[in-house]
């Protein structure tokens, strides 16, 4: 193996580790948001939806990192893409329903959009490199 391939491999490993950390932190932040919601039927329903997809982002990213093929990698990342986009939807719903002030979720929504963009780019790059 050439040095350039080793450096590229280490850089990719560092990137994957950083994204594992980011997606874990994202899930933990989602948990804190959901904990702050009211226990009425609306808060519980919307919170459960956000909790499910928000914690799923990191779990499915980790699964993608363990994929046995490029196709499996893209399929798992496709789930990450769907779940990150769904998080954005549920956060918008919480804001529009006046359950959480927009400014409280702005940074978390920004992170969701960034994770979504990274995931879409990774899927596209994987397709192009095959």
Instruction: Delineate the domains of the chain, giving CATH numbers in brackets.
Output: 3-129 (1.20.1440.60)
Please state the rounded mean pLDDT for residues 56-81.
96
pLDDT for res 9: 54
Q: Are 79 and 87 in contact (CB under 8 A)?
A: no
φ and ψ at 38, to 5 degrees? -70, 160
Res. 35: pLDDT tops 70? yes
Q: How far apart are CA 96 and CA 101, in angstroms?
A: 9
- Whether this prediction's pTM lies above 0.85 is answered by yes
* Orientation angle between helical segments 41-65 and 3-35, nearest 10 degrees: 170
pLDDT for res 6: 35
Res. 2: pLDDT tops 50? no
Task: Tell me the pLDDT of the chain averaged across its residues.
Answer: 91
pLDDT for res 11: 64
Distances (CA, A) of 128 to 52, 76, 124: 31, 17, 6
């Amino acid at each position: 193996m050439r040095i350039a391939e080793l450096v590229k491999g280490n850089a990719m490993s560092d990137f994957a580790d950083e994204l594992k950390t980011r997606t874990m932190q994202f899930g933990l932040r989602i948990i804190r948001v959901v904990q702050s919601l009211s226990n009425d039927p609306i808060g519980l329903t919307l919170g459960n939806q956000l909790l499910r997809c928000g914690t799923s982002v990191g779990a499915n990213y980790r699964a993608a990192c363990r994929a046995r093929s490029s196709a499996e990698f893209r399929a798992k990342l496709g789930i990450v893409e769907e779940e990150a986009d769904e998080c954005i939807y549920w956060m918008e719903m919480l804001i529009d329903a006046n359950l959480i002030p927009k400014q409280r979720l702005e940074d978390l929504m920004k992170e969701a959009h960034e994770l979504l963009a990274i995931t879409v780019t990774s899927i596209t790059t994987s397709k192009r490199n095959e």
